[in-house]
Structure 1
Amino acid sequence: MEKLDIIIVTYNSSRWVTACLNSILAADYMNSDISVTFVDNGSQDQTVDIIENYPDKEQFGGYQCVQLQKNCGFGSANNYGVKCTVNPYILLLNADTELYKDALLELKRAVIQSESVTAMWEMRQVPYEHPKWYNPVSLETTWCSAAACLVRREVFEECEGFDESIFMYAEDVDLSWRFRQRGYKLQYVPTSVVKHYSYSSPGIVKPLQQYSSIVNNLRLRFKFGRLKDIAEGYVWYLAAIIFIRPKGYVMSLIAQLLKSFGWSRKYRMRRTGSNFSAPFEPVFNRFEYELAREGAFYTSKPIAGEAPLISILVRTTERPEVLREALLSIRNQTYPSLEVVVVEDGMNASEWMINKDFADLNITYRCTSGKSGRTRAANLALQHARGAYFCFLDDDDLLFAEHIEVLYNEIIASGKRAAYSLAYEAYTEVESTSPEYCYEIKDRRIVYRENFNRRVLLYRNFFPIQTVLFSRSLYDELGGMDESFEYLEDWDLWLRYAASHEFVYVDKATSVYKVPYQNREYSSRKILLQAAHQKILDKHRDILKEIPSVELEEGEKRIKAISTVRYKLKNKSFKQIVGLMLDRAKQSFRTK
């Protein structure tokens, strides 16, 4: 990627255009290799005058402004812009954005490192990162936001560009899915950052966005979904008319509902039985097109000042194919100064893989040569770590790209010594471990969502091990894991640290931990866990004397709420609820 076309669609965008252009000029990229094309959708303000009189436009390799007589929609205007340009790569960019200095170089790096079948690259938006799920290992995503994304021209033209019947919102989902229908891949590039002024404040409601999202969701269900998806879409559509009622658009929703009955013929749905012939599985999650990650309005902040070294401590046990994925998720981290300490409990089965495939990472590798246990392996990792902050990562768990960055920023902002975030529990069915690790995530849910409270922490561990980033000073002061614990050793560690130090809660999902999808029989391991649980309670019972009365009272209320059936079931799928009932029945049978 050398020569680059940037296409910016404007509509009454006068307050944004100059800052956007200045950020492009300031980027670490040859200005003469950038051609900027504006397509104005009939602005009534000073947008066109500002574009045409921009004082530094001669610094670009090309610069033009195409004026349309009316607002023909985002997708249609972008299609027009593509026809007016020639370079093999096109950056679609909203007018209300500003590029970070290295954003274009990071995009170029991603293109060079991508597979040939990758055709679209999405930039990371700040201050509000787009919350949809992506693969933490491959960075593959199911669709790309057209507010800031790079596309291959030849693929864009092969797919005939944006669907011009979609005026606004979801046109990027439609384009992404048509790319995928043809076998192309889409990639998220978290290191390529753009500031997007999409919301003036967190959680703001845009009636036009609500209306367009409702209508276009049903439209996409007709284009790509199954009969089941369409039927479900009508249910949500009617619910939106009754309960959401976007201001000023209720009658338009009803009118579009009547028109939708003609979409079946328009989109020429081809069915085999009850299925369409699309070669990929579209995802419809109510009005979303993927699982929406928790933390949509978490405010991302750039790393301020020098970034201290942070150590990620990985325990593994002779399964390099599993460890590889954890290391790939570490490689994708946006935090700039990391070391990885890998301790293998057993023989050095993973050393060759680390040396071969991860020479670019700052890795310290140790193996115990014989089985010494999980707790001992964790302490060895702590002893070899050189960072100012530590974070554990078990070899079968994964980090989203911003995990370390988010937790570090929260520690610095709060002045505290530990922070924890939300994590998805991924119900995983392993298909093969040899010759490579193959699995399918059947479901993903947030199980633990708790503000910091020592009383609740004594009741249950709501810190999955990889969710916590803590200062080295805590380790120096209070030590590592208690090696008399082989189970629940991390819970014991958090209780010791939390007894005298408050942790910062971050309401954003930044990691994934895998658990078996299938319900397991009660086994000796469950008995060992119960024994370890009792040991935890016996060891830390005195913590109750140190908890302030207000925190203790709040904790008791939350424990009471946690104990209710309603709470226990609210994060469970139907299959999990059935499984819990079966497990309860089995347990009851054993006690008789």
Structure 2
Amino acid sequence: MDKIAVVILNWNGIKLLEQFLPSVIQFSSDAAIYVADNASTDDSLKFVQQHFPTVKIIKNTGNHGFARGYNDALKEVNAEIYALVNSDIEVTENWLKPIIETFEAEKQTAIIQPKILDFKNKEYFEYAGAAGGFVDKYGYPFCRGRIFDTIEKDNGQYDDNCEIFWASGACFFIRKEVYDELEGFDESFFAHQEEIDLCWRALNEGHIIKYNPKSVVYHIGGATLQQGNPKKTYLNFRNSLLMLVKNLPKRKLFFIILFRMILDGIAGIRFLTQGKFKHTLAVLHAHFSFYYMSASYLKKRKDFQIEKYYTVKSIVFIYYIKKLTFFKEIFNSNQNIKN
């Protein structure tokens, strides 16, 4: 069994593999490297075979998205630690060393995220994960270094090794035994927020999730679905509601789901006033899909859910009404932040 396996999920990403796979190979000598392909129709696999023969290839049967794509691929990977890495990630020298050291020293730590910076503007954090993620009471995710569309410059303000609520799927380290215990990602999500759901389930089982700033990667972000894509809006809104049904404490479930749907409605109206009609329709579509799927998701609930899952009551209120846009500002004004 390998100590660590770097697994890159690919779908028609030959250009990204050409650009970013060399850095993974150069700086991952201690790892087995895999490209897990979601039935690409371009020359991705031919390119990898010709130029990087040491990279192992896993062929999935179709484009099943991020969740099932990894679930299927990891059945063929035998390693103590999985490093799930987007194809648009540039890694840095010694990026694996602090992660492996943390796993070896902290047996309860199950999942780790590195510092994720913007490949296009390397002094700034990247949208998808930044310096580790949290959620508010209503399930809205935010990060140290990124709240909604406000992205902070990396001035070393989040260089502490700390516990977080969720780790970004852009670069996601997890123990194999924990991944197996949780039965992997929820395949119904297809893509988006499946890593938050997995982390929430891990926390419900008593595991610890950490952020390690000594490991640094650079992420393009949005290489598969751009931020303004209505499909991404649909998946984010639908999956967030499904995640809440699965993981909220029972006594809070009805009220929070109801209030969250009201907030989603307000977001849909805001899209409408901005002329983003397709995004308003995406929110409506997400809600109708949620109604259809909610009964089956109630059956996915486990016996125990942690009560204190959120760090602030409403990140929407703090950001849009109180106008606090940086994580450090919120921490200084709210003692519920876990740091």
TM-score (norm 2): 0.75
What residue identity is the alignment partner of 2:39?
G
Structure 1 equivalent of residue 33 of structure 2:
36
Match of 2:3 in 1: 3
CA displacement at 1:4 relative to structure 2 = 1.4
SS at match of 1:267: helix
The Cα shift of 1:2 comes to: 6.6
Corresponding pairs, count:
292
Q: Any conservation in 1 of the 2:81–2:175 contact (CA below 8 Å)?
A: yes
User: What secondary structure sits across from 1:57 in the alignment?
Assistant: coil
Change in Cα spacing, 1:78 to 1:192, as seen in structure 2 (3 Å) is same
In structure 1, which of residues 220, 237, 252 is the aligned counterpart of residue 264 of structure 2?
237
Q: Hey, what's the Cα distance between the residues in 1 that align with 2:69 and 2:104?
A: 29
Among the aligned pairs, what percent are the same residue? 22
2:110 to 113, 119, 137: 119
Distance 1:24 1:255, change over 3 A: closer
When residues 179 and 49 of structure 1 are mapped into structure 2, their CA distance, relative to the original with a 3 A threshold, is same
> Which residue number in structure 2 is paired with residue 534 of structure 1?
none
Distance 1:106 1:294, change over 3 A: farther
1:256 is aligned to 2:283:
no
Give a deviation string over 1:1-22, Cα, whole Å, max 9, x none: 9721111111121111133221
- Cα distance, 1:204 vs. partner? 5.8
Give how far 1:190 is off: 1.0
Pick closer, same or farther for the CA change 1:255–1:69 going to 2, 3 Å: same
Q: CA deviation at 1:145?
A: 0.5
- Rounded Cα–Cα distance in structure 2 between residues aligned with 1:116 and 1:155: 11
Q: CA deviation at 1:69?
A: 4.2
Tell which structure's C-alpha radius of gyration is larger: 1
2:298 pairs, out of 261, 268, 290, with 268
CA contact (8 A) 2:234 2:286 kept: no
- SS in structure 1 of the partner of residue 192 of structure 2: coil
Cα distance in 1 between the residues matched to 2:319 and 2:293: 26
Counterparts of 2:14 and 2:337, CA distance in 1 = 45
- 1:101 counterpart SS class: coil
Give the one of 321, 326, 332 matched to 1:426: 332
Query: For 2:98 and 2:236, how far apart are their aligned partners in 1?
Result: 31
SS for the counterpart of 1:189 is: strand
Task: Give yes or no for the alignment of 1:190 onto 2:213.
Answer: yes
**Contact 1:37/1:81 (<8 A) preserved:** no
- In structure 1, C-alpha distance between the alignment counterparts of 2:7 and 2:331, rounded to whole Å: 40
Residues 181-236 of structure 1: per-residue CA shift (max 9 Å, x gap): 10000000111011111158xx9634333222112111112222222210112112
After the TM superposition, which residues 320-335 of structure 1 pair with which residues of structure 2 at under 5 Å, given as runs? none
Gaps of 5+ in 2: 119-124, 131-142, 146-157
Equivalent pair of 1:141/1:188 in contact (CA under 8 Å): yes
- How far apart are residue 146 of structure 1 and its match? 1.2
Q: State the shift of 1:123 in Å.
A: 1.2
Distance change (3 Å), C-alpha of 1:57 and 1:259: same
**Counterpart of 1:44 in structure 2: which amino acid?**
T
- Report deviation, 1:285: 6.8
1:213 aligns with 2:240: no
**Aligned residue identity for 1:67:** K
Choose from 61, 75, 99 the match for 1:107.
Answer: 99
Contact 1:10–1:38 (8 Å) recurs in 2? yes
What letter matches 1:223 in structure 2? K
How far residue 247 of structure 1 moved from its aligned partner, in angstroms, is 5.9
**Structure 1 residues not aligned, in runs of 5+:** 296-399, 401-421, 429-440, 445-511, 513-592
The residue that corresponds to 2:46 in the other structure is 49
What is the identity, as a one-letter code, of the residue corresponding to 1:257?
A: H
Whether contact under 8 Å (1:207, 1:247) holds in the other structure is no
How well do the aligned residues superpose, as a CA RMSD in angstroms? 3.4
* Structure of greater relative contact order (alpha carbons < 8 Å, 6+ residues apart): 2
Query: Contact between 1:123 and 1:193, CA under 8 Å: does it hold in 2?
Result: yes
Equivalent residues in 2 for 1:444-483 (5 A)?
Answer: none
**Aligned to 1:142, which of 165, 174, 181?**
165
